[in-house]
Amino acid sequence: MNYVSLVQRGRVIVAIVGLLCVAMASALVWRTTAIRRSQASESQRKYNARIRDGVGSEVQFADIGDEGSCRASADSVSHFIFKRSGAILNGKTKTRLARMEVSTLAGNSRRISLDQLSEILAQTAIERISKLRDSDLNNASESLRGFDAPDLPDSFRRGRNTVKLRASKASSLTPEQFVAQAKAIRGADNASKNIFQAAAKNAIADELVKRSRSLGDAIPERFGSSAGLTPIQAVLLAYSIAADDPMTDSEANLQKHMVEVRDGLTRITGQTYASPDGHLAYGNNGYLFSTPLDLAFDDETVNLLLDHIAERSANQ
Calculated CA dihedral for residues 116, 13, 303, 84, nearest 10 degrees: 100
Domain ranges, residue 264:
3-20+38-313
211 lies in a domain?
Answer: yes
In-domain check, residue 262: yes
Instruction: Give the total number of structural domains in the chain.
Output: 1
Tell whether 236 is covered by a domain: yes
Does 77 reside within a domain? yes
- Whether 29 maps to a domain, the answer reads no
CA 195, CA 275: separation in Å to the nearest integer?
Answer: 43
Helix (H) or strand (E) holding 9: helix 3-16
Contacts of 198 (CB under 8 A, 6+ apart): 122
Going residue by residue through the chain, which has 316 residues, state the pLDDT in tens, using 9 for 90 and above. 554 455 555 555 555 554 433 222 222 222 333 334 455 688 889 999 999 999 999 999 999 889 999 999 999 999 999 999 999 999 999 999 999 999 999 999 999 999 999 999 999 999 999 999 999 999 999 999 999 999 999 989 988 999 998 877 777 899 999 999 999 999 999 999 999 999 999 989 999 999 999 999 999 999 988 889 999 999 999 999 999 999 999 999 999 999 999 999 999 999 999 999 999 999 999 999 999 999 999 999 999 999 999 999 986 4
276 falls within a domain? yes
Task: Count the neighbouring beta carbons within 10 Å of the beta carbon of residue 178.
Answer: 23
Residue 28 in any domain: the answer is no
Is 208 contained in some domain? yes
CA dist 27 and 233 (Å) reads 30
How deeply is 245 buried, as exposed, middle or buried, from its count of CB atoms within 10 A (0-12, 13-18, 19+)?
Answer: buried
What is the distance of C-alpha 134 from the center of its chain? Answer: 23
Nearest to 201 by CA among 313, 120, 312, 127: 120
* Distances from the Cα of 71 to the Cα of 58, 99, 122, 142, 176, angstroms: 15, 8, 27, 35, 43
